[in-house]
Amino acid sequence: MAIGVFDSGVGGLTVHRKLVDRFPEADFVYLADQAHAPYGGLGGEEIVDLTQAGCRRLFEAGADVVVLACNTASAIALRRLQQVWLPEHRHETGRNLNVLGIIVPTIEAATGRPWEHQVSPGEGKIEKLEILGVFCTAATAMSQVYEIEIQKRREDLAAFSEPCPGLAGLIELGAPEEELKVVVADHVDALRRRIGRHPDKAILGCTHYEIVAPLFAAALPPETSLIHQPSATADALARYFERHRDYDLGGSGRRQFLTTGTPGQQSDLVSRFWGAPVTFEAA
Ligand code: DGL
């Protein structure tokens, strides 16, 4: 079997990197839906359809487990796919297929609690309220997934999503660092103005933003700790495979990078982050 990793573009490579490091023996297929990126400004139905098509393509390429390395797809499409399409598709193919997201592991890392842990309203004693900033796409911010799911688990942690429209698109295009620095600093400042101070912790809630994590770290005060989705996702996937021993991860170390967009080498920004040039083939 292979592990499939899906994103609208190059952002999911941040998660992919950690997964490859964690499971070096496994086969991997990465799919970037660059023909339709960025997802952050699209409507819900469109995001569901595109994510489903991406998963289908990854299953065809030999993946049995697909990780949606995209907050927007995880927030908007994952539940629908798991409840409706995936059971049918498993039945049609007779394969033990699954699709996992990255929001659950991120919330577990942010709250320090397992996903199953929920407090009843008013039950948790609030000694000190911590503020969590979530920098994300407009679609993820509008879903309120971080606010809702964190509130259920930690009443002493208040999440505020800050939409950063356009930022994923700029990163996708390999915009110069000077330009990205200004945009990142503007969003960090917009959140500070909205909540009256900088957050205690922050999530880069769009996988593209991990590529420019040093710019976020520089714009935020040093006391604000960053929660990193790629490592949280790799830890969660390791726990998943511990529980599901029927998946055989031993492979030939296949690494395939597919795109629905224009095949070829990705930007210098991506190469710098990845540590080597990244070349996509046509999906
Ligand atoms: N990297 C994706 C995310 O984590 C999608 C960004 C976009 O396509 O707008 O949300």
Is the pLDDT confidence value at 215 over 70? yes
Confidence band for 250, pLDDT divided at 50, 70 and 90: confident
The rounded Å distance from CA 269 to ligand 1 centre is 17
Identify whether 38 is preceded by a cis peptide bond (ω within 30 of 0): yes
Cβ neighbours around 151 below 10 Å, total? 16
Confidence band for 19, pLDDT divided at 50, 70 and 90: very high
Mean per-residue pLDDT, 113-124 = 83
Instruction: For residue range 255-282, list pLDDT tens digits in order.
Output: 999 999 999 999 999 999 999 999 999 9
Identify the CA nearest to 158 among candidates 148, 166, 167: 148
User: What are phi and psi for residue 135, nearest 5 degrees?
Assistant: -90, 125
Confidence band for 118, pLDDT divided at 50, 70 and 90: confident
Confirm whether 70 is a catalytic residue.
yes
Nearest Cα residue to atom 9 of ligand 1: 40
pLDDT of residue 107: 97
Pick 124 or 244 by higher pLDDT. Answer: 244
Confidence band for 124, pLDDT divided at 50, 70 and 90: low
The rounded Å distance from CA 251 to ligand 1 centre is 29
Query: Which residues form ligand 1's pocket by a CB distance below 6 Å?
Result: 7-9, 11, 37-40, 70-72, 137, 140, 168, 206-208
CA 114 distance to own-chain centroid: 18
pLDDT of residue 141: 97
CA-to-CA distance for 10 and 16, rounded, in angstroms? Answer: 10
Instruction: For residue range 144-166, list pLDDT tens digits in order.
Output: 999 999 999 999 999 999 999 99
By most ligand atoms within 8 Å of CB, the mutation choice from 78, 102, 137 for ligand 1 is 137
What is the average pLDDT score of the chain? 96
pLDDT of residue 120: 79
First to last CA, the chain: 19
pTM higher than 0.85: yes
Instruction: For residue range 74-89, list pLDDT tens digits in order.
Output: 999 999 999 999 999 9
The rounded Å distance from CA 137 to ligand 1 centre is 6
Is the pLDDT confidence value at 238 over 80? yes
CA-to-CA distance for 50 and 102, rounded, in angstroms? Answer: 17
pLDDT of residue 63: 97
CA 91 distance to own-chain centroid: 28
Confidence band for 90, pLDDT divided at 50, 70 and 90: very high
Question: Atom of ligand 1 at shortest distance to CA of 41?
Answer: 9
pLDDT of residue 35: 97
pLDDT of residue 21: 95
Is the pLDDT confidence value at 121 over 80? no
Confirm whether 55 is a catalytic residue.
no
pLDDT of residue 127: 84
Is the pLDDT confidence value at 59 over 90? yes
Is the pLDDT confidence value at 254 over 80? yes
- The three-state secondary structure class of 80 is helix
The rounded Å distance from CA 136 to ligand 1 centre is 8
